[in-house]
Amino acid sequence: MPTVKQATYEVLRRFGLSTLFGNPGSTEVDFLAGLPEDLNFVLGLHESAVVGMATGHALRTERPALVLLHTTAGFGNAVGALATARVNRAPLVVLVGQQDRRHLSAEPFLTGRLHGLAGDYPVWSHQPDRAQDVPEALARAWYEARAGRGPAIVVVPMDDWHAEIDAERLPNAPARLRSGVRVEEYATAELAEMLYAAKSPCVVAGSGNDSAEGWQALVELAECLGCPVWQEPFGARAGFPQDHRRYAGHLPAGRAALRDALAGHDLVLVVGAAAFRQYAYEPGPFVAPGTTLAVVTDDPDEAHRSPAALAILADPARTVARLAKLVPARTGSEPAERHRTPVPPPAEPLAAAHVFAALAAAIPADTIVLEEAPSARAALYDLLPARHPLGLLSAAMGGLGFAMPTAIGLRLADPARPVVAVVGDGSALYCVQSVWSAVHYRVGALFVVLANGRYRIMDQLSARAGAPEPAWPGFDEIGVAAIAHGFGCPVERITDHPSLIAVFDAVLPTLPDRREPLLLEIAVTA
C-alpha cells in the first residue's frame, strides 16, 4: 500500500506545487528524504526569506506556492511574513512540521503548540485527525489559499508520512474547482445609476485591481467619466497606470488629509480595495458630508469593513468593464497638475530623490519595483510610477523584511521580467541573508539599498511625538554591502552623483538578461 508521503507527492504534482520553499528541521526530514526529482526544493536561510520568496512566486504565477516550516521555531519566525502574505493577497500552502503523533501528549522536545500561533492571518488552518487525512488536507489548503488569497496552514506530525493509506482514497478532493461570487446585473446597473447621477465622481484604485484586465477596464471607465483616479493609501500594488493623465497620485493615510484630497467629489468609487486603509488614528469620517462611497472588491473582508453606500462583492476587472459600457461618456475637466516631489540639482550628499529620478530615467518600463524604504516612500511614489501591471509592490502589512526575498521569488517565477527592490538600510537588515538564495539560484534581481545609517522613519515619528532625540542609536558602522558580499552577492557602494548615473546607465539596461544578483549600497542623506 502507498504511504501518506507518496500520496502527498501526488497531490503536489496535481496542484502544480512543484517548487517547495523551506528552511527545514528534524520534524520535516521524513517528508524531504527521497524527494522526487520533479519536486524542486528552494532553500532560504531564515523563515522570513522562505515565506518572502514563496510570496513573490505566488504573486507572479497567480497560483498558490508551497512553504515548509519547522514546528514552533520555524512557524513563529515566519508569522510576520505570513501576515504580510495575507495582506498582500499571496496564496500560500504552508506545511508545518510537528513532533511524532504517538507521544505528543507527553510534549517531547520540539513539540509545537501551533494552534493560533499565527493569529487570524491564515485563511485556513488544520491539523488532520488521522495521518491518512493529510493528502486531502493539503488539497483543501490549495483551494482555501487560492480562494482566500492568503496562507492556508496544514500541520503534519512527523510520523504521519510513513503511515499506509488506502489507494482508493488518493485523495478525496476535486482536481478542479470553480468558485466565486456572481453579481446580478442589477447591482452593476445600480452603481451605473449612481455614477450617472454624480456631478463630480472620482475613482480610487486598489491592489485588487492590479491586472492587465483591471487596468484596461479602469482606464476605460476613467476616460468615460473624465475623472481623476487615485491610488489607495498603503496599497500593496498599483491598481491603475501611474503615468496616465487621469492619475492623481497616492491618497494620504490620515482622515483629515483624505477628506481634503477627496473634497469636491460627490461620489468616490473604490475598486479593488477597502475604503480606506489608514495609519495613525484620526477622528472623523473618511469623506466629507455629501460625498457617497461605493466599493467594488472580491474580498469579503474589504467589503464588510467599508462604510459604503453600495459594496459589490465581485471580480473588479469584470465589473468595471461592464460598468464602463453602462455609463454614458461625459466631458470631464482636464486633470489638475498634481504635486510631485522636487528633484534637487545634482549634489552630494545624495538624496533619495536623486536615486529615484535616475532610476526613472533608465529603468525598463515593465520592471517590477518593490518598495521598502518608509522614509522615502512618498518620493518613490511620485518619481517612479508603475507603468505596467505588477509594476509596484510593497508590504501592505507594514512589517519589514519583505522586499528582498520577494524580489527573488518574483524573478524565479518570471526570469524575463526585470525586478528591482528599493530598500532602506534599516529594512535591508531584516532579511539581507536572502541574497544568499539569489546567488545560489542565479537570480538576476537588483537590490538598491538607500543607506543613511538610521531607522529614519522612526526618527521622524519620534520627532513628531516631541522627543528631541530618538531613544535608539544610528548604525553607521553597519555596512549592508559588506554583509551581502559575505553571502557571495556582487556589490557596489555609491557615494556621489556621477557614480550613481554611471552605474545605473551600465546596469539597468542589462536587467532583463541578468543571471546574477547585484546589490547597490547608495549613501543618502538622512
Where along the chain do its domains lie? Answer: 4-162, 185-326, 352-523
Residue in the structure block whose three cell numbers are 505596467: 388
Please tell me the predicted confidence (pLDDT) of residue 53: 96
Average of per-residue pLDDT across 7-28: 93
- In Å, what is the CA distance from 110 to each residue of 28, 80, 96, 101, 503? 12, 21, 12, 12, 48
Task: Look at residue 338 and give its three-state secondary structure.
Answer: coil
Please tell me the predicted confidence (pLDDT) of residue 90: 96
355 Cβ neighbours under 8 A, 6+ residues apart: 422, 448, 450, 500, 522, 524
Mean pLDDT of the chain: 90
Q: Around 524, how many Cα atoms within 13 Å sit in the side-chain half-sphere?
A: 27
Please tell me the predicted confidence (pLDDT) of residue 20: 96
Look at residue 178 and tell me whether its pLDDT is greater than 50. Answer: no
Question: Which range is least confidently modeled, 86-100, 103-117, 210-224?
Answer: 103-117
Residue in the structure block whose three cell numbers are 559575505: 486
The C-alpha torsion from 126 through 129 and 134 to 137, rounded to 10°, is -40
Look at residue 197 and tell me whether its pLDDT is greater than 70. Answer: yes
Please tell me the predicted confidence (pLDDT) of residue 179: 46
Using only C-alpha atoms, what is the Rg of the chain?
24
The fraction of the chain above a pLDDT of 90, given in percent, is 69
- The CATH superfamily label for domain 185-326 reads TPP-binding domain (3.40.50.1220)
Could you report the per-residue pLDDT of 108-152, keeping only the tens digit for each? 888 889 999 999 999 999 999 999 999 989 988 998 999 889 999
The fraction of the chain above a pLDDT of 70, given in percent, is 95
Please tell me the predicted confidence (pLDDT) of residue 458: 75
Longest C-alpha distance within the chain, in Å?
Answer: 73
Look at residue 184 and tell me whether its pLDDT is greater than 70. Answer: no
Is the Cβ–Cβ distance between 449 and 428 less than 8 Å? Answer: yes
- The CATH superfamily label for domain 352-523 reads Thiamin diphosphate (ThDP)-binding fold, Pyr/PP domains (3.40.50.970)
d(CA 409, CA 56): 4
Is the Cβ–Cβ distance between 265 and 306 less than 8 Å? Answer: no
Q: Which residue has the higher pLDDT, 37 or 1?
A: 37
User: Residue 375 corresponds to which cell in the numbers above?
Assistant: 522614509
User: Residue 272 corresponds to which cell in the numbers above?
Assistant: 479593488
Look at residue 177 and tell me whether its pLDDT is greater than 70. Answer: no
Phi, psi of 353 (to 5 degrees): -60, -35
The C-alpha torsion from 285 through 286 and 289 to 295, rounded to 10°, is -130
What is the strand order of the sheet 491-494 is part of?
392-394, 368-372, 419-424, 446-451, 518-523, 491-494
Could you report the per-residue pLDDT of 482-499, keeping only the tens digit for each? 999 999 999 999 999 999
Instruction: Provide the residue count of the chain.
Output: 526
487 Rama class: left (phi>0) / alpha (psi -120 to 50) / beta: alpha
Partners of 423 in the β-ladder:
372, 449
**Of 521, 520, 499, 523, residue with least CA distance to 511:** 520
Q: How confident is the model at residue 340 (pLDDT cuts 50, 70, 90)?
A: confident
Q: How confident is the model at residue 168 (pLDDT cuts 50, 70, 90)?
A: low
pTM above 0.85, yes or no: yes
H helices, E strands: number in the chain? 18, 18
Q: Around 192, how many Cα atoms within 13 Å sit in the side-chain half-sphere?
A: 18
32 Cβ neighbours under 8 A, 6+ residues apart: 22, 24, 41, 68
Is the Cβ–Cβ distance between 414 and 512 less than 8 Å? Answer: no
User: Residue 112 corresponds to which cell in the numbers above?
Assistant: 509545537
Phi, psi of 328 (to 5 degrees): -70, 145
Could you report the per-residue pLDDT of 422-466, keeping only the tens digit for each? 999 888 999 999 999 999 999 999 999 999 877 777 777 777 777
Write the DSSP assignment of 221-245 as a string of letters: HHHHHT--EEEPTT-SB-SS-TTST
Please tell me the predicted confidence (pLDDT) of residue 397: 79
Please tell me the predicted confidence (pLDDT) of residue 463: 75
Fold of 4-162: Rossmann fold (3.40.50)
Average of per-residue pLDDT across 387-404: 90
Partners of 346 in the β-ladder:
none
Could you report the per-residue pLDDT of 235-256, keeping only the tens digit for each? 899 999 999 999 999 999 889 9
Do 4-162 and 352-523 come out as alike in CATH topology? yes
**Of 43, 5, 4, 35, residue with least CA distance to 18:** 35
User: Residue 119 corresponds to which cell in the numbers above?
Assistant: 493569529
Q: How confident is the model at residue 173 (pLDDT cuts 50, 70, 90)?
A: low
Give Cα 88 to chain centroid, integer Å.
Answer: 4
